[in-house]
Structure 1
Amino acid sequence: MADIIDSKSQEIRPEDDEVYTKMEELADELPESSPRFILLSYPLTLGSGRLAVPYVLLYYLPENCNPSQRMMYAGAVELMRNTAEVNRVIEVESEEDITSIESKLQGAD
């Protein structure tokens, strides 16, 4: 589910009720020039064979978003992190960053 900041009320709210099960679908739906916060719970198998389900905040900040939106979202990252109670924030800029998120979750930055 992607969250947006309403520019009029400055409220962080869900963009829609969509729950994505594939990273490719999520990447296809993200706008090319608007930031988003994405709460991600992603099951994966670690190199040790152990199953993990990290709960992280993806901070989608495309390169070509306008400066006022960039500042508005940058100012809300810690609020979103604390409210969602995630341990990790991962900044992503492109569809490729989203589709390759598993390697980042496994610690290979």
Structure 2
Amino acid sequence: MSDAEICFQDCELEEICDELPSQQPRYILISYKLAHSDGRESFPMCLIFYTPSDCSPDVQMLYAGSRNNLVKECELTKSLEIREVEELTKEMLDSKML
């Protein structure tokens, strides 16, 4: 694992949010427990593209240009984008993944 990679296991979203920089984009590959209305549980995986408002446009373009390739290589069906750390909540994930 390189210095640019951080791996969390069995953690809360708040822990991930605490590690996100305020001026650098990040890709977040996440799998989490999703409870369905019929009682089933699933563990969907999705890519979250975090691109803060304060980030330079050049860096935003660099990350945005690689996003689709990453989604394709990881064979993901869900990809989300957030601009502010506060957007990354369980409620947001549940609403986008159901």
Indicate the structure with greater strand content. Answer: 1
Q: Whole-Å Cα distance in 2 between the matches of residues 15 and 63 of structure 1?
A: 21
Q: What is the one-letter code of the residue matched to 1:16?
A: E
**Are 1:25 and 2:15 an aligned pair?**
yes
Q: Whole-Å Cα distance in 1 between the matches of residues 3 and 77 of structure 2?
A: 20
- After the TM superposition, which segments of 4 or more aligned residues of structure 1 sit over 6 Å from their partners? none
Indicate the structure with greater helix content. Answer: 2
Q: How big is the alpha-carbon RMSD for the aligned residues of Structure 1 and Structure 2? A: 2.0
Structure 2 unaligned residues grouped into runs of 5+: none
Q: Whole-Å Cα distance in 1 between the matches of residues 96 and 77 of structure 2?
A: 17
Structure 1 unaligned residues grouped into runs of 5+: 1-12
Q: Whole-Å Cα distance in 2 between the matches of residues 29 and 76 of structure 1?
A: 21
- Could you tell me the TM-score, scaled by structure 2's length? 0.84
- Could you tell me the TM-score, scaled by structure 1's length? 0.77
Aligned to 2:31: 41
Aligned to 2:76: 86
Superposition pairs of residues 1-109 of structure 1, within 5 angstroms:
15-20=4-9, 21-98=11-88, 100=89, 102-107=90-95
Q: Aligned residue pairs: how many?
A: 95
Please list the CA deviations of residues 42-88 of structure 1 after superposition, one character each: whole Å capped at 9, or x if unmatched.
11212332101110000001111001001101111100101111111
Q: Whole-Å Cα distance in 1 between the matches of residues 51 and 6 of structure 2?
A: 21
Q: What is the one-letter code of the residue matched to 2:19?
A: E
